[in-house]
Amino acid sequence: AQKVTQAQTEISVVEKEDVTLDCVYETRDTTYYLFWYKQPPSGELVFLIRRNSFDEQNEISGRYSWNFQKSTSSFNFTITASQVVDSAVYFCALSEAGTYKYIFGTGTRLKVLA
Amino acid sequence: EADIYQTPRYLVIGTGKKITLECSQTMGHDKMYWYQQDPGMELHLIHYSYGVNSTEKGDLSSESTVSRIRTEHFPLTLESARPSHTSQYLCASSESAGWNEQFFGPGTRLTVL
């Protein structure tokens, strides 16, 4: 069965702190795709990154970095030197090859305090 | 540039009214989706479409219906709105393969009094 678990419901940090958002997934497929989305207070989900199951290379984009580990079925997201504008709900999602469906986690609400 | 539009953005309506939430995309995507979400909470898939004249119900039981007569248009209709329908409704689209990310519209926040 497919499942995405984001165990952290809410995280609060002070500006400039680093923060890691956890994502653990379950799938029986060998080919699958993982995604992170950001939902700011305005409500629209914004795509951040995708990874396929054959590419475990970590990725860095500015202050954002992603750590994909198949051995632990995790796809964690780190924000370095957090800013108030990073305050949002972040969703991790899973999609299997050839399927219509995207399985979303329950989201992690990040609050960055000035 | 991803372009997916939803109207209205906000809607307050009385119980028993029929409403249609509009969703359009200009990217030529085959797949379109409707999600129901209480603000900042989990997304629940209520309908999806593979393409024109193809619609399916999602995981969350919903009293709404959808249609897909044109590739770019995927409206959602509630025949008789109830207070339990109060929520945010998000429309999304993607290219065919599961590899492709979904693009989301800005959402419609519905309040049924």
Q: What is the pLDDT of residues B18-59, one digit of tens each?
A: 999 999 999 999 999 999 999 888 899 999 999 999 999 988
Q: What is the pLDDT of residue B82?
A: 94
Mutate to test the interface with A, among B3, B25, B101 (most CBs of A within 10 A): B101
Reported as a single tens digit per residue, the pLDDT across A44-95 is: 899 999 999 998 888 889 999 999 999 999 999 999 999 999 999 999 999 9
Residue of chain B nearest A52, judged by CA positions = B99
Reported as a single tens digit per residue, the pLDDT across A5-58 is: 999 999 999 999 999 999 999 999 999 999 999 999 988 899 999 999 998 888
- Asked if A98 lies within 8 A of B97 by C-beta distance, the reply is yes
Reading phi first (left if > 0) and then psi (alpha if -120 to 50, else beta), residue A19 is in beta
Q: For chain B, say whether A20 makes contact (Cβ under 8 Å).
A: no
Q: What is the pLDDT of residue A91?
A: 97
Closest CA to B74 of B50, B96, B97: B50
- Asked if B50 lies within 8 A of A100 by C-beta distance, the reply is yes
